Amino acid sequence: MARGRQRGEADTASEILDVAERLVQVRGFNGFSYGDVASELEITTAALHYHFAGKAELGEALIERYGARFADALGEIDQHDADPAQKLEAYADLYLDVLRDHRMCLCGMLAADYDTLPKPMRNAVVRFFDDNEAWVGGVLEHGRAEGTLQFTGSASDAAQMIVSGLEGAMLVARPYGDTDRFQAAASRLLAGLTHTPRRRRRKPASLA
């Protein structure tokens, strides 16, 4: 009986996170309330507070889960794509998949609300981007070392440009409802780094 109750509580917490994540990706963190989540799941706000004491705690859990899924996706890219240029394409496709689902990057949306977020959430958002820039920077260093990628300046600076460029491309594509606009911007962003012709690659990892 206790094991079934624990499993049920875990399922409820996951459902809360699923709904809250979608609301943040569509409306922003300040665009929804506990009441919105409770209404959609047909549970009481007291049940929400049982799992997440407050909206700040819910926000931290959202970032932690999203960051973990992103890390898993990056690990899958590392496992299946050996070519640095292909890795960068697969990375851009992570953002494309989110946009195709009519959503925005969770941490991109939170960055827009940054000044109004609790400090632990602000720190978590920064860690998310730091982790992504570190991974992209590693791919860039590898590509430059083997002669397949070229860029001026440090890999860290170039990684910041790529992450910022992809996040910005999502924002601009959103009001048009046009994923082709994002794909064109991402392709131009990455094309300037490619030193050798790119090869076709497998279906990329996904955050779904």
Instruction: Supply the pLDDT for residue 81.
Output: 75
CATH 2.60.40.10 is held by the domain 63-191: no
Tokens representing 87 are: 């890795």
Distance CA 145, CA 148 (A): 8
Distances (CA, A) of 43 to 2, 9, 28, 49, 87: 21, 13, 22, 11, 42
Distance CA 27, CA 142 (A): 38
Q: Are 98 and 25 in contact (CB under 8 A)?
A: yes
What pTM did the predictor assign? 0.87
Say how many residues make up the chain: 208
Q: Are 152 and 165 in contact (CB under 8 A)?
A: no
Distance CA 144, CA 157 (A): 14
Q: What does the pLDDT look like over 17-74, one tens digit per residue?
A: 999 999 999 999 999 999 999 999 999 999 999 999 999 999 999 999 999 999 999 9
